[in-house]
Copies of this chain bind each other. A is one copy, B any other.
Amino acid sequence: MTEKDIFVDYLKQQGLKFTKQREEILNFFLKEEKHLSPEEMFDILRKKRLPLKIGRATVYRTLKLLSECGLAEKVDFGDGLNRKVITLFEHKFAHPHHDHLICLSCGKSFEFSNPEIEKLQENVARGHQFKVAYHRLKIYGYCKKCQSTKK
């Protein structure tokens, strides 16, 4: 069951069509290892001068579909203070859940997962009779590199 199969199946199941644009965007997303924003993806796909044109709206629409079928995950890497929105898409297929350390200096993010924290979150929610759907934990600060270079 490849990522493409998952996408195609999802589309069929929803009565949607597997178009050239959607395939192109899927492939591009899959082979990029860096986290990219929709705007960056749009720019790059445009510069490629493919035989087919890909519009901004199609990029956004397709990323939404990829998220719906579990291949991608939208993550906001803004610093939570300045309303600078930094939306990036991560690979989700065969990538277990994780949270992020986000460097306020270079913007890089570092993944981590901690089952103990997750368990405590469950306890907190239970105490409030709150039914958890998902969570986001972001730790902002300065990465190792930026601590040393920042004289």
Contact = CB atoms under 8 A, between A and B. Distances in A.
Interface string A92-130: 000000000101100000101010110011001101111
B140 A128 contact: no
B130 A143 contact: yes
| Protomer copies | 2
B140 A134 contact: yes
Interface in A78-93: 78, 80-81, 83, 85, 87
A36 to B, nearest CB: 16
16 contacts: A74-B83, A75-B80, A76-B78, A80-B136, A83-B85, A117-B124, A121-B137, A124-B139, A125-B139, A130-B139, A130-B141, A130-B144, A131-B147, A132-B139, A132-B141, A133-B140
Interface of A: 67, 74-76, 78, 80-81, 83, 85, 87, 101, 103-104, 110, 112, 114, 116-117, 120-121, 124-125, 127-144, 147
